[in-house]
Amino acid sequence: TASRPPSNPVAPVTQAPVAPAVTASTVPTASPPSAVSPSPAAQRPEPAATAPTATPTPPADNTPALAQAAPAPAAPEPMLASLATLTDIEQQRDPRIVLDVKLSKSVLKIGKDALDLSIKSSHDGYIYLVLLGSDRKSFYVLYPNGLDKDNRIKAGQTRRLPRPDWQLEAAGPPGTDHLLVMVSSSPRQIDRLTMAEPSATNPFTFALNEIGGRTALINFLVHNKDGEGSERFGAKLLTLKEVL
């Protein structure tokens, strides 16, 4: 849930699999359907509790039916497949790009605590934060986003995120969140993801947690923009708990 300095909360608009909704208070609030929910700066005042909400239908389950002679192989659990995707991306990192990432809290109370971390890189680059929330429905690109697009970082510089004008509060459901922190040598092409780009009502780009979405996420993070610059990157995978 995105929260900012005092203002009138605005209900967010959610997209396919419950995309983060932005709520405006003095500061608009964006909230992904699981784990942390981002909140924008107070820029777009809107009437509280009147924003339309869209509830997307989760992708159909294409698990094969039982064959006559023997059962078909079981489809991998969504969480296992999605976590394996983030782990695979982390393993493709360049060990020469060293990231020092620190969480202020690894256990967040829903509706009370907000994500707070600091990132220090050994090389110049571009920061990307990708969240697989406890609802397991989608991957969310939390940073850069529609509210904060300047994701550059200098070697030796420490960047604290989120910044003061947008926040990421724990919004549930209770469970485990996985956060991939990445610093790439060259910028990535956000439109490689299958979903729409950030908007005033939904500042976070996301990809569904299904085969197509996972493939799009890998292409987005691992490959540079239109062959420009280096594809090298450093990465670190973090685990967070959301509790009541």
| 33 part of a folded domain | no
Structural domain includes residue 167: yes
215 DSSP 8-state letter: H
pLDDT of residue 103: 97
Task: Give the Cα separation of 97 and 155 in Å (integer).
Answer: 10
Mean pLDDT across 208-236: 87
pLDDT computed for residue 205 by the predictor: 87
Nearest C-alpha neighbor of 17 from the set 190, 213, 221: 213
Q: Looking at residues 35-42, what average pLDDT do you find?
A: 52
Q: What pLDDT does residue 14 have?
A: 40
Average per-residue pLDDT in the chain?
Answer: 76
pLDDT at 47: 42
Which residues span the domain enclosing 192?
A: 78-243
Dump pLDDT digits (tens) for 94-128: 999 999 999 999 999 999 999 999 999 999 999 99
Top mean-pLDDT range of 40-44, 53-57, 120-124, 145-149: 120-124
Size of the chain, expressed as the number of residues it contains: 244
Tokens of 140: 């969310």
**In the structure encoding, which two tokens stand for residue 177, read together?**
């969140």
Structural domain contains residue 214: yes
Tell whether 182 is covered by a domain.
Answer: yes
DSSP state of 219: H
Query: 105 - beta bridge partners?
Result: none
Range of lowest pLDDT (105-114, 151-160, 212-221): 212-221
| 97 assigned to some structural domain | yes
Q: How many domains does the chain have?
A: 1
User: What is the reported pLDDT for 80?
Assistant: 64
CATH number of the domain encompassing residue 114: 2.60.40.2550
Residue 206 has pLDDT above 90, yes or no: no
User: Is residue 73 in a domain?
Assistant: no
Mean pLDDT on 205-226: 87
- Confirm whether 196 is domain-assigned: yes
In a domain, 62, yes or no: no
Residue 243: other Cβ atoms inside 10 A: 13
